[in-house]
């Protein structure tokens, strides 16, 4: 996998984490706030009705001023529904909007228990215009002067209290944590080319858990009403159950249910211990179960119970999937290590064959000397000497045939021919390849030696009375190196559910690394490994490697 592709999956995970945090953050931030009304002009009204400009720099709740004053300001546009709030202690005031009286109130005295009297004036959404406040100071030692007028959006206190003490934060945050865990496991599986598609309905279920827990309770304060109407429906909880059932249906493996049962037993034991400890100390857990959850169940309300069961199932399934992915990664790394070891063994075997070929070259050189000696003995008429020399030559091993000018391919074929001769297997090879190929010797060795080893091993196991043979053809055709290996075999070809060939080896050490290695090399050179049998005990392996330029 290319390096830049590997960075995509961590980037997707961090983007998902950022999106979840952003969504949850919507429920702890307050976008609305209190607005103060600034007075653009102010005058003092004398007893004879004349007016004179009046200026002030600060607000105070203790003033030495007396008399009547009028303040003028503007109510901002595009305000939401809310209300105006003003302190009236020590004042007699009248508030008008666009010439229409909104309220008239006064509070000449207060108590120590409630030091400041207030009046609120409800306002509908979108109202605006000129505000005029006329006030008479009744008690300057108690009055807030000039009058402090401000606008408060509807439910501001409730929104602020909800944001700072979000009662749905813990369950929604727990479901969000499970969602991120499952999404990370899903991405990890994709990066290893082993995606677990059953995690998709599990992710949808945990997303529904987040939504169904927080939006119906508090969405109206923080989200547009249209979104709340859609995502706050009771059907979301039913979809959560449906997606969980789909996930369980997709994981019908015995091992999964074994792990899930173990997790359920341990979780039940831990929960019981925590509940008993909470009961002894009067903790929150026992109060919640006894005071809220059990009464809900007795009343036929199962939302809370189903939520916690669904959340537990999501977490348990996520941990089981994480264990499965990590176990698969460990097996994959062990397989890669075994492949590297087999590559090293193949390379060492090739070097041994190459050394054997060099020894054979030396033997051929020695044979030429022996033939010269025979010629001399014949010319001298020494028939006894000829007989002794021929006897010594017959005791020497047979010289292997040269199959092709390509040194690597020739060495491999000679090694296979010698092994076939020892096992009394008829071996036939036809190789027409350039002396030099732009295919590394390590790849040729891994492909051909695995192919021939498998063929010789299968041919050796044929039924008695059957003549075993191995036949291989190698041809350089255009830009491709075509390879076809045919051999006799006895047995059944085993395939997995996807139709892939499985190893015929049995026992604890059984593996299929040779076949996997051959398939990877074929894929590396833009080809595939075609495996077939004709039903009459003949097994064939074919491929055509694209020769690099």
Residue matched to tokens 């063994």: 345
CB atoms within 10 A of CB 352: 12
137-151, pLDDT tens digit by residue?
988 888 888 888 989
Pairing of strands 51-53, 91-97: unpaired
192-206, pLDDT tens digit by residue?
777 888 888 888 888
**Is it true that the peptide bond before 146 is cis, omega within 30 degrees of 0?**
yes
The pLDDT value given to residue 511: 38
What mean pLDDT is predicted for residues 306-334? 77
Higher per-residue pLDDT: 481 or 396: 481
Closest CA to 218 of 281, 284, 155: 155
The pLDDT value given to residue 303: 67
| Distance of alpha carbon 131 from alpha carbon 71, whole angstroms | 8
Phi, then psi, of 391 in degrees rounded to 5: -65, -40
The pLDDT value given to residue 507: 40
The pLDDT value given to residue 132: 94
- With a cut of 60, say whether residue 537 has pLDDT above it: yes
Q: Report the predicted TM-score, pTM, of the whole model to 2 decimal places.
A: 0.44
Apex 342 CA angle, 339 and 347, nearest 5:
125
Q: Contact 79/32 with Cβ under 8 angstroms?
A: no
| Distance of alpha carbon 546 from alpha carbon 549, whole angstroms | 9
The pLDDT value given to residue 399: 45
Which residues does 394 contact at the CB level (< 8 Å), separation at least 6? none
**What are the Cα distances from residue 314, in Å, to 240, 263, 309, 317?**
10, 12, 9, 5
Sheet order of strands, 39-45 included? 51-53, 39-45, 67-75, 129-137, 91-97, 100-107
Q: What sign results for the dihedral spanned by CA atoms 227, 233, 237, 242?
A: negative
The pLDDT value given to residue 493: 66
| Distance of alpha carbon 221 from alpha carbon 153, whole angstroms | 12
- Compute the half-sphere exposure of residue 154: CA atoms within 13 Å on the CB side of its CA: 11
The pLDDT value given to residue 474: 93
CB atoms within 10 A of CB 170: 10
- With a cut of 90, say whether residue 64 has pLDDT above it: no
Q: Which tokens in the block code for residue 305?
A: 């119970």
DSSP of 359-393 = HHHHHHHHHHHHHHHHHHHHHTT-HHHHHHHHHHH
Which residues does 543 contact at the CB level (< 8 Å), separation at least 6? 447, 482, 483, 518, 522, 527, 528, 529, 530
| Distance of alpha carbon 294 from alpha carbon 257, whole angstroms | 28
- Helix, strand, coil shares of the chain as percentages rounded to 5? 50, 20, 30
pLDDT band at residue 2 using 50, 70 and 90 as cut-offs? low
Q: Which tokens in the block code for residue 166?
A: 């979000």
| Distance of alpha carbon 285 from alpha carbon 145, whole angstroms | 51
Coil, strand, or helix at residue 327?
helix
The pLDDT value given to residue 509: 35
Pairing of strands 67-75, 150-153: unpaired
214-235, pLDDT tens digit by residue?
777 666 666 777 887 887 777 7
Higher per-residue pLDDT: 408 or 385: 408
Q: Contact 398/339 with Cβ under 8 angstroms?
A: no
């Amino acid at each position: 996998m290319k390096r830049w592709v590997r960075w995509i999956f961590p980037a997707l995970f961090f983007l998902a984490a950022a999106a979840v945090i952003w969504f949850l953050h919507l429920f702890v931030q307050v976008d609305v706030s209190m607005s103060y009304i600034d007075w653009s002009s102010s005058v003092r009204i004398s007893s004879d009705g004349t007016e004179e400009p009046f200026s002030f720099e600060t607000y105070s709740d203790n003033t030495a001023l007396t008399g009547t004053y009028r303040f003028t300001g503007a109510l901002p546009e595009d305000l939401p529904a809310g209300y105006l709030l003003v302190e009236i202690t020590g004042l007699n005031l009248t508030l008008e909007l666009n010439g229409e009286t909104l309220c008239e109130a006064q509070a000449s005295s207060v108590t120590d228990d409630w030091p400041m009297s207030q009046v609120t004036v409800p306002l509908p959404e979108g109202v605006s215009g000129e505000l005029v406040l006329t006030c008479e100071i009744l008690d300057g030692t108690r009055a807030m002067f000039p009058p402090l007028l401000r606008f408060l959006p509807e439910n501001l206190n409730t929104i602020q209290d909800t944001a700072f003490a979000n009662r749905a934060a813990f369950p929604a945050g727990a479901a969000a944590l499970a969602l991120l865990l499952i999404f990370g496991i899903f991405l990890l599986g994709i990066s290893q080319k082993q995606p677990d598609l059953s995690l998709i309905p599990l992710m949808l279920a945990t997303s529904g858990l987040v939504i169904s827990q927080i939006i119906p309770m508090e969405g109206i304060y923080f989200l547009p009403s249209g979104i709340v109407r859609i995502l706050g429906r009771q059907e979301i909880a039913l979809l959560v159950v449906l997606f969980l059932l789909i996930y369980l249906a997709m994981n019908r493996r015995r091992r999964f249910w074994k792990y899930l049962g173990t997790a359920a037993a341990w979780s039940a034991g831990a929960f019981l211990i925590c509940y008993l400890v909470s009961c002894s100390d009067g903790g929150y857990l026992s109060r919640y179960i006894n005071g809220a959850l059990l009464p809900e169940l007795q009343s036929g309300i199962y939302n809370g119970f189903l939520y916690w069961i669904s959340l537990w199932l999501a977490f348990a399934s996520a941990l089981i999937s994480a264990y499965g992915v990590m176990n698969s990664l460990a097996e994959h790394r062990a397989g890669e290590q075994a492949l590297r070891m087999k590559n090293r063994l193949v390379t060492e075997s090739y070097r041994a064959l190459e050394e054997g070929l060099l020894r054979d070259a030396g033997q051929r050189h020695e044979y030429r000397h022996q033939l010269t000696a025979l010629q001399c003995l014949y010319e001298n008429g020494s028939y006894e000497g000829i007989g002794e020399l021929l006897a010594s030559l017959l005791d020497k091993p047979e010289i292997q045939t040269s199959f092709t000018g390509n040194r690597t391919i020739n060495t491999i074929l000679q090694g296979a021919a010698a092994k076939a001769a020892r096992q009394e297997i008829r071996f036939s090879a036809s190789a027409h390849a350039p002396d030099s190929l732009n295919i590394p010797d390590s790849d040729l060795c891994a492909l051909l030696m695995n192919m021939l080893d498998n063929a010789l091993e299968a041919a050796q196991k044929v039924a008695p009375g059957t003549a075993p043979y191995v036949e291989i053809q190698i041809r350089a055709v255009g830009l491709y190196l075509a390879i076809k290996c045919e051999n006799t075999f006895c047995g059944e070809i085993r395939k997995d559910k996807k139709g892939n060939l499985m190893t015929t080896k049995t026992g604890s050490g059984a593996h299929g690394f040779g076949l996997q290695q051959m398939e990877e090399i074929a894929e590396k050179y833009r080809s595939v490994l075609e495996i077939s049998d004709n039903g009459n005990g003949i097994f064939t392996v074919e491929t055509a490697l694209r020769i690099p330029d």
